[in-house]
């Protein structure tokens, strides 16, 4: 929970008892107005209609070209599982480096600033971004299937799982019963929430899914220092 080290600390700082949902909210002090929520929904819907949908339409020939299958037989479960593992790893690694570039002075001021308007993210703000960011960060999502072609049903499943993961990561809630906590090196909501909490100057927690890239390249030090400081407070 940011920036508190415990439920008791959050309740003491807020001067009241937390609701059931707030007990799992990472930044319980932040409240979004209806106007803010509606603006987010409206802008995301606009990007989906005018950026994502046209991209899906024009990308079908490219999917055929890289070898995405649409005919029978359907893939086996082991084929699907192995391909999904590759896609998650490829997406995470390439997204890490693109995200780091977006935190350069030029990348942030021209493109990434929009996504960071939410320093306490909400689930629907996961795709809330500049149109150029949507296009650029779409590359890691489709790079895996381009490298290891799959069946169209696997591609649909992969796209759905990636969106669900992104929404959970931006949800602002850290539920202890989430099945994603069973995944090794998974970042999750608390990990990414810190990135938004710090904002523009953040040079930590760039990876989209796992934590190993930030650890290997030393970009999780700010997050680890924060965790240690909170424990000592």
pTM, whole model, 2 decimals?
0.89
In which band, very low, low, confident or very high, does the pLDDT at 231 lie, cut at 50, 70 and 90? confident
Digit-coded pLDDT (tens) for 171-217: 999 999 999 999 999 999 999 999 999 988 888 999 999 999 999 99
Rounded Cα distance, 5 and 9, in Å: 6
Please state, in angstroms and rounded to a whole number, the distance separating the CA atoms of residues 87 and 162. Answer: 10
Please say whether the beta carbons of 21 and 172 come within 8 A: no
Report the alpha-carbon distance of residue 53 to residue 56 in Å, rounded.
5
pLDDT band at 6 (very low <50, low <70, confident <90, very high): low
Mean pLDDT calculated for residue range 67-71: 95
Question: pLDDT tens-digit profile of 131-143?
Answer: 999 999 999 999 9
CB atoms within 10 A of CB 150: 24
Local structure of 210: helix, strand or coil: strand
User: Side-chain half-sphere of 171: how many Cα atoms within 13 Å?
Assistant: 18
pLDDT at 1 over 50: no
Q: Would you list the domain boundaries of the chain? A: 1-31, 33-68+76-232
When pLDDT is averaged across residues 12-39 and rounded to a whole number, the result is 78
């Amino acid at each position: 929970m940011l920036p508190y080290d415990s439920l008791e600390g959050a309740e003491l700082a807020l001067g009241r008892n937390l609701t059931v949902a707030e007990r799992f909210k990472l930044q319980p002090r932040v409240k979004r107005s209806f106007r803010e929520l509606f603006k987010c929904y409206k802008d995301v819907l606009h990007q989906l209609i005018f950026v994502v949908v046209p991209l899906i339409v024009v990308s079908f020939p490219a999917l055929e070209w890289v070898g995405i299958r649409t005919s029978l037989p359907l893939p086996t479960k082991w084929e699907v599982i192995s391909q999904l593992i590759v896609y998650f790893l490829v997406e995470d690694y390439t997204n890490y480096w693109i995200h780091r570039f977006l935190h350069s002075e030029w990348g942030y001021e021209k493109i990434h600033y929009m996504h960071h308007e939410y320093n306490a993210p909400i689930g629907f703000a996961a795709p809330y971004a500049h149109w150029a960011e949507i296009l650029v960060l779409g590359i890691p999502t489709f790079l895996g299937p381009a490298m290891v072609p799959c069946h169209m049903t696997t591609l649909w499943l992969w796209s759905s799982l990636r969106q669900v993961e992104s929404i959970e990561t931006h949800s602002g809630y850290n539920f202890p019963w989430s099945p994603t906590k069973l995944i090794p090196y998974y970042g999750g909501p608390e990990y990414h929430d810190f990135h938004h909490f710090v904002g523009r100057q953040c040079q930590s927690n760039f990876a989209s899914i796992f934590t190993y890239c930030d650890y290997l390249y030393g970009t999780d030090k700010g997050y680890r220092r924060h965790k240690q400081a909170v424990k000592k407070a």
